[in-house]
């Protein structure tokens, strides 16, 4: 009935083989499948769940608000309440607009950038995923500045012809793009920390250099913080990495597990958006009151103390995972951590871009994934995705993780024995 039995390809097991697990419920740091088996969860709805599954304060907010109405199709005070929380934590967002998904947020930000600058071309980086809108489903052509090619059937070549693709973490190659197309470029869109080719942080100076290139050329910088926003700190991460985004896309955590995203940024840029400007964007369920309540309840819990604790627990989890690999004499394994985000690679060194990420040993990851699943650990079912911890994790869960993963690493030895 559903294509591939799923509503999003990343949920399938196409990259690891087998049939996806169907889950019935979540509780804190764990998931329970339809057969009653329990799993430590290292996916957490792809980073959206930061407080743990069914966090009581979030559930209460949803229940209370649902009794008052599920949707109005009209303004609600709850939209402004959540917007104020976000703005207080991220003052860079002088104006913002709620939407329902990260794809909507990035797609809308690109449209606003084009409308504001009067230019057509967008620069993205290979391996960066910014949702499934046609114009951003582009891959590099034969040269860095060559015309891009569609990365999906159903996307006409002319649609991505205005999308230029450069290698992530390669400032020289990005400079070449600007030397050839600078006056045509409306914006660069970038994940401050790439999380869709595994976890690949920017090298020193990369984001600062991209910022300088696009602003010198008169374009805008779009920070795609759908994953990183409110994940690593209360607010945005790109300002701490040397970038000054004009537009930002948010998602995942700001909805507390419900479908909420947003785009926002400089006041003069955002005031090009209808109804006060010429850039049109709309959504029937945008600002849904139940979703706004879930986001507000989630952000209320995100204190500096919570982030400090989550960082410590994630550091312990990373050390435990590495101990498991070392204890099983697994060579060719590397782990990358940024806060509560983990990248697990079967490679001799952490990848710095899409090309290096693609060279990681996918067969070993598949063996590791299924052995971990059998041991009660749910990892991202892809070698090029990022794992996430939630605040429901503690030392007990970390110790349990270490006990369960020893056999999984045994299955991932190079020989496969």
Q: Active-site positions? A: 129, 224, 252
Starting from the edge strand earliest in sequence, which strands make up the sheet with 163-167, in order? 95-99, 261-265, 247-250, 220-225, 185-190, 121-126, 163-167
3-state secondary structure the chain: CCHHHCCCHHHCCCCCCCCCCCEEEEEECEEEECCCCEEEECCCHHHCCCCCECCHHHHHHHHHHHCCCCCCCCCCHHHHHHHHHHHHHCCCCCEEEEECCHHHHHHHHHHHHHHHHCCCEEEEEECCCCCCCHHHCEECCCCCCCCCEECCCCCCHHHHCCEEEEECCCHHHHHHHHHHHHHHEEEEEECCCECCCCCECCCCCHHHHHHHHHHHCCCEEEEEECCCCCCCCCCCCHHHHCCCCCEEEECHHHHECECCEEEEECHHHHCCECCCCCECCCCCCCCCHHHHHHHHHHHHHCCHHHHHHHHHHHHHHHHHHHHHHHHCCCCCCEEEEECCEEEEECCCCCCCCHHHHHCCCHHHHHHHHHHHHHCCEECCCCCCCCEECCCCCCHHHHHHHHHHHHHHHHHCCCCCC
Is residue 130 within 8 Å of 106, Cβ to Cβ? Answer: yes
d(CA 347, CA 335): 9
d(CA 391, CA 117): 41
d(CA 151, CA 132): 10
| Cis, bond preceding 66 (omega within 30 deg of 0) | no
Sign for the pseudo-dihedral over CA of 73, 78, 80, 84: negative
């Amino acid at each position: 009935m559903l294509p591939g039995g799923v509503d999003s390809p990343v949920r399938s097991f196409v990259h690891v083989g087998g049939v996806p697990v169907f889950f019935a419920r979540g509780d804190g740091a764990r998931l329970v499948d339809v057969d009653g088996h329990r799993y430590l969860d290292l996916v957490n709805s792809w980073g959206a769940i930061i407080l743990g599954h069914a966090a009581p304060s979030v559930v209460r907010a949803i229940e209370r608000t649902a009794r008052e109405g599920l949707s109005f199709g009209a303004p609600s005070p709850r939209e402004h309440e959540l917007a104020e929380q976000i703005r207080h934590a991220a003052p860079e967002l002088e104006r913002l607009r709620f939407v329902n998904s990260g794809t909507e947020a990035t797609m809308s930000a690109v449209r606003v950038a084009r409308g504001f600058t009067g230019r057509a071309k967008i620069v993205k980086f290979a391996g960066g995923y910014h949702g499934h809108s046609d114009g951003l489903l582009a891959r590099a052509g034969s040269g860095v500045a060559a015309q891009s090619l569609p990365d999906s059937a159903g996307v006409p070549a002319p649609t991505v012809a205005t999308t230029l693709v450069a290698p992530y973490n390669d400032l020289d190659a990005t400079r070449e793009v600007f030397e050839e197309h600078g006056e045509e470029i409306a914006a660069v869109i970038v994940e401050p920390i790439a999380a869709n080719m595994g976890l690949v942080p920017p090298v020193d100076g990369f984001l600062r250099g991209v910022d300088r290139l696009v602003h010198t050329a008169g374009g805008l910088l779009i920070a795609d913080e759908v994953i990183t926003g409110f994940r690593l700190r209360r607010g945005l991460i790109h300002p701490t990495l040397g970038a000054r985004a004009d537009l930002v896309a948010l998602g995942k955590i700001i909805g507390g597990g419900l479908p909420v995203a947003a785009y926002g940024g400089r006041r003069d840029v955002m005031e090009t958006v209808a109804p006060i400007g010429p850039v049109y964007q709309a959504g029937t369920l945008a600002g849904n009151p139940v979703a706004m309540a879930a986001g507000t309840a989630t952000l209320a819990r995100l204190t500096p103390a919570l982030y400090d604790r989550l960082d410590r627990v994630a550091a312990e989890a990373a050390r435990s995972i590495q101990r498991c690999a070392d204890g099983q004499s697994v060579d060719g394994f590397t782990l990358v951590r940024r806060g509560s985000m983990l990248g697990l690679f079967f490679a001799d060194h952490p990848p710095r871009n899409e090309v290096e990420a693609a060279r990681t040993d996918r067969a070993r990851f598949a063996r590791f994934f299924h052995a971990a699943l059998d041991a009660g650990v749910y990892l991202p079912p892809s070698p090029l995705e990022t794992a996430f911890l939630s605040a429901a994790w503690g030392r007990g869960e970390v110790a349990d993780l270490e006990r369960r993963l020893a056999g999984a690493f045994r299955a991932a030895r190079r020989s496969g024995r």
